[in-house]
Structure 1
C-alpha cells in the first residue's frame, strides 16, 4: 500500500508501524462509519455548511487558508486529518493533530462585521468538532444503515479522545448535546454567498474526475438535507436543494455498494493490515468482528 503523501509535512502510511493501535478501536462504530466514502462525502459537505453558518469560522477559513483558491484540496486535507484520527497509528495521529493545532494558533482576525475571532476559541473548536461528528454520523445513518440511539451515543463518545487533542472542551456525547450546542449558536447563523459557491463547487464534480457529475449534485443536495431545519432556514437553502427521488435512490445504492466492497488502499484497509486484521475487517458485521477478535484473545469494545 502506498503511503498517503505529505500532510503538514508528514508522509502518512496507515499500514505502519506494525501493531500500533489507533485512537479508535477496530470494532468501534467509528471504524464502521468512516470507511464509507459516499456517506463521508455527504457528511463532510454538511459539516462545512454548518461551520460556515457562523461568520467567525467562515472568515477564519476564507482569510487564512487556501480555501478560496483550492477548496477541494483543502477539503481533502481536512478529510485526511479526520481519517488519521480514526485509523492512523496513534503516534501519527498525535503528530498531525499537533501540526493542525500549531497552524490554528496563528489564525485570528475580524469578520466583515468587525467581530474578533481566533481559531483557538474554545466555542469555535467545540462547534467544528461537533459538526464533523454530526455530519458523518447522520449521513451514514440516513444513506447507509440506520444507527440506534445507543450506537449514536457510542459514536460520539468514541471521538472524545481524538477531539480533546484538538483542544475541544465540551465534546458532544449524545444527540441531545449536539442539538443544544446548535440551538445556542443558532442566533449567530446567517446566509452567505460563500455557502452557495461551495455547493456549486461540489456539484461541478471537480472533486473526483470520472465520477458522474449527477452523483455530486445529489451529494450536495443530500448534505443540505442533513442540516437541522432551523439551520437550513437561516442559511436560506430552499427547495432548489431538495433531493429528487432518483437522486435519493442513486445515493443509497452507491452508499450500500461502498459498504459491502472494501475500498482498495483505503485508510480502513491499511489500518487493518497494520494491526493484523483482515483487509475487510471494517466491512464485516459486528458478530463477525467479535469472532475475529475473540480468536485473537482480544476483548471487543462493547465488552469494555
Structure 2
C-alpha cells in the first residue's frame, strides 16, 4: 500500500511540478531565510490543500469570461499547445509566493511582472489589451482567490472560519499588488463586492467556449487519469455561479451537484490528499 501511495503521489507531483519539481520543492520549502507567511496561516492552509485542484479548474473557467483577459490567454499563453508546462509554471509561482523565502517570492513576482509588460494585442472585438493592465490583473486575481477559497470551503481538509477566510483574502493581496493589481480586496465582503462590479464586463466569447471545451471535454490527460480528472472538473463546474453557466454552455443540475458531484469531489480530493502527502 505504501508503494502504491508513493507511485500515485509521485505521478501527480510530476504532472503539476514537472521534471524539476523535486529540486524546486527542496529550494522553496527548505531554503534558509524569512518567510512572508508563517506556518498555519490561512494562505498555507488553502494553497497547501488538495482542494486547489478543483479551485484551479474553476478559476480558469471563471477568468475566461472576461473577453480581454481571455484574448490575452488565447493569443499568448499557449495553454492548448503546452498545458502541462503552463500548469507547472503556475504551480511553481504559487508555491514560491506562498511557501518560499521573501527573497524568492519577490523575485518570482518580479519575473512575472516583467513578462506581462511584453504581452499586449487586440481582442476579436477590436479593443486593445495589455497583460499589465491593473484592471485585468485585478480580475484575474479575484477570480482566482474566489475559486481557491470556495473550493477549500467545500473540499478542504480543515475549513477556515470567517476570520480565517478574511485573512486568506488579505494575505493573497500582497502578491496581487506586486503584480500590478489595484484596489485589491482584503476581506470576503470586499471580494464579493468587487466580483459583482465586474459582472457587466463579462460575456461569452468563442475563445472562452473553446477554453471550456478544452478544459472539460478534451483535457490533455492520459487515459488512466480521465476518470479522476472528470470528477475534479465536475466538482469545479459545480462550484461555478449560476450566472456563469450559460455563457460557457455549462450545465446546471442542482440536485446532482448537491449529491453525486459533491460526494465524488470529496472522494477524489481525499484520494489526492492521501497520495501527495508522501510525494
Query: Shorter-chain TM-score category?
Result: 0.7 to 0.9
Unaligned runs of 5+ in 1: 266-304
- The one-character-per-residue Cα deviations of 1:120-158 (angstroms, maximum 9, x if unpaired) are 111111111111111111101011244322211011111
Match of 2:193 among 166, 172, 180: 180
Match of 2:103 among 91, 112, 123: 91
TM-score (norm 1): 0.75
Secondary structure in 2 matching 1:103: helix
CA distance in 2, matches of 1:133, 1:141: 12
Distance 1:186 1:168, change over 3 A: same
Q: How does 1:5-20 map to 2 (within 5 A)?
A: 13-18=27-32, 20=33
CA distance in 1, matches of 2:154, 2:136: 27
Distance 1:196 1:248, change over 3 A: farther
Give the structure 2 partner of residue 222 of structure 1: 235
Distance 1:207 1:80, change over 3 A: farther
Indicate yes or no: 2:134 matched with 1:116. Answer: no
Give the structure 2 partner of residue 279 of structure 1: none
Give the structure 2 partner of residue 249 of structure 1: 263
Shift, 1:36, TM fit: 1.7
Give the structure 2 partner of residue 284 of structure 1: none
Q: How does 1:239-278 map to 2 (within 5 A)?
A: 239=252, 243=257, 245-256=259-270, 258=272, 263-265=277-279
Give the structure 1 partner of residue 6 of structure 2: none
CA distance in 2, matches of 1:41, 1:249: 16
Give the structure 1 partner of residue 170 of structure 2: 157
Unaligned runs of 5+ in 2: 1-13
- The one-character-per-residue Cα deviations of 1:24-70 (angstroms, maximum 9, x if unpaired) are 22120111111123x11111111111211011000011111222312
TM-score (norm 2): 0.81
Indicate yes or no: 2:70 matched with 1:58. Answer: yes
Give the structure 2 partner of residue 292 of structure 1: none
Match of 2:244 among 200, 211, 231: 231
Secondary structure in 1 matching 2:129: strand
Give the structure 1 partner of residue 138 of structure 2: 126
Indicate yes or no: 2:49 matched with 1:36. Answer: yes
- Farther off after superposition, 118-127 or 175-184: 175-184
CA distance in 2, matches of 1:201, 1:21: 40
CA distance in 1, matches of 2:241, 2:266: 20
Contact 1:199 1:220 in 2 (8 A): no
Give the structure 2 partner of residue 291 of structure 1: none
